[in-house]
Amino acid sequence: MNNLVSALIGALIAVMIMLNGTLSNVLGNYIATIIIHIVGLIAITFVLLVSKQKFIINKGTPFYLYSAGGIGVFAVLFNNLTFNSLGISLSLALGLLGQTITSIIIDHFGLLGMKVMKYQKKKLIGLVFIVLGIAVMAVF
Amino acid sequence: MIFIAIIAGLCIVASRAINANLAAKIGIFQGTILNFIVGLIFSIVFLLFSSEGASISRISFISVPWWTYLGGVVGVLVVVLSSYITPKISAFYLTLLIFISQLLVGLIIDYFTLNIFSIGKVIGGLLVFIGLTYNLLLDRRVRKNTIYESL
């Protein structure tokens, strides 16, 4: 079930990239990013109103937790920068490498409240296949 | 540039994990709202520092098909589902599962909209899938062993 939801997220991201990419091509990267966020904000506000949940900002919430939205925009900005000079496949492949390394570090040390999943040496074989796959995608 | 591309990947994973923490504190929908508010503020700041702002009056917003504006709605779905699933699954497998299905759907979209079919991406995706499955099986075996040891 968890794997299925994860796969669904990937499918949604692919659709999202197509929609946002089309929008960015016509309107420009930054204006498109603003519109995407406004539309998203309207959608989630609607969901919150329909579900009749309250919106309370807890004073005990650490400040860094609010940074996720900003970091996400940085990811989009970096992607736009690299797309232009490295091409789409290579920047996607390198981005995946960055994601893989970050995920392994987060799992290994249990950072950001995640469960600790120590890295095993045997997993290196699987990782070699993954890096190989990324390389093949970058070359072709 | 290569370094920036890798950092972009780091940002995606970090933002997902931080968002999941925020969702655990104030609720998934509430966390998503904050995510989009902060994102909107940053987008506006970036626009102000770019050269795009000057040409805003010359853009024809209706020249784009209406459904391309729905990317934000799909984005909300992605953030809500990610906040839900992140605490339940290892960051490594989440990243790779998302990647595999993203690649698959991306290939299908490319095929139907641009008539492109990339063999390199299929082979590369297959290799990533093999590596992922191998490590997943390894994890499963370790979990079984720890259960036996605790008995």
pTM: 0.77
Contact A53 B5 (CB under 8 A): no
Count chain A–chain B contacts defined by CB atoms under 8 A: 379
User: What pLDDT does residue B144 have?
Assistant: 59
- B29 chain-A contacts, CB cut-off 8 A: 44, 47-48, 51, 53
Q: Of B63, B66, B101, which is closest to residue B81 (Cα–Cα)?
A: B101
At A115, is the pLDDT very low, low, confident or very high (cuts 50, 70, 90)?
A: low
Mean pLDDT value of segment A51-77: 76
Highest mean pLDDT among A23-27, A43-47, A66-70: A43-47
Domain boundaries, given as residue ranges, for chain B: 1-51+66-88, 90-151
Q: Of A53, A38, A39, which is closest to residue B70 (Cα–Cα)?
A: A39
User: What pLDDT does residue B151 have?
Assistant: 44
Contact B99 A28 (CB under 8 A): no
The answer to whether residues B111 and A59 touch, using CB atoms and an 8 Å cutoff, is: no
CA separation, residue A49 to residues A42, A134, A136, B36, B123 (Å): 11, 43, 47, 16, 46
Q: What is the residue type of A23?
A: L
Contacts of B30 (CB under 8 A, 6+ apart): A48, A53, A55, A56, B23
User: What pLDDT does residue B73 have?
Assistant: 87
Q: For each of chain B's 151 residues, which pLDDT tens digit applies? A: 778 888 888 888 888 888 888 888 888 888 888 888 888 888 888 888 877 666 666 667 677 778 888 888 888 888 888 888 888 887 778 888 888 888 888 878 777 777 777 787 788 888 888 887 887 777 766 665 555 544 4
B contact test, residue of A1, A2, A3, A13 with most B CBs within 10 A: A13
Tell me what percent of the residues of chain A surpass a pLDDT of 70: 83
Nearest-neighbour CA in chain B from A121: distance (Å): 11
- HSE of A114, CA atoms in CB hemisphere, 13 A: 30
- A96 chain-B contacts, CB cut-off 8 A: 9, 95, 99
User: What pLDDT does residue B53 have?
Assistant: 64
The answer to whether residues A82 and B8 touch, using CB atoms and an 8 Å cutoff, is: yes
Nearest-neighbour CA in chain A from B36: distance (Å): 6
At A119, is the pLDDT very low, low, confident or very high (cuts 50, 70, 90)?
A: low
The answer to whether residues B105 and A26 touch, using CB atoms and an 8 Å cutoff, is: no
Q: Of A134, A75, A123, A100, which is closest to residue B35 (Cα–Cα)?
A: A75
- B100 chain-A contacts, CB cut-off 8 A: 7, 10
Pick from B41, B64, B76: which is nearest to A44 by CB? B76
Residue A53 neighbours by CB distance under 10 Å = 13
Domain boundaries, given as residue ranges, for chain A: 1-55, 65-140
Contact B85 A20 (CB under 8 A): no
pLDDT top residue among B33 and A111: B33
Structure tokens at A40: 């998203």
At A92, is the pLDDT very low, low, confident or very high (cuts 50, 70, 90)?
A: confident
3-state secondary structure of B89: coil
pLDDT top residue among A43 and A22: A43
pLDDT top residue among A112 and A124: A124
Give dist(CA A100, CA B86) in Å, integer. Answer: 15
Nearest-neighbour CA in chain A from B95: distance (Å): 7
pLDDT top residue among A133 and A79: A133
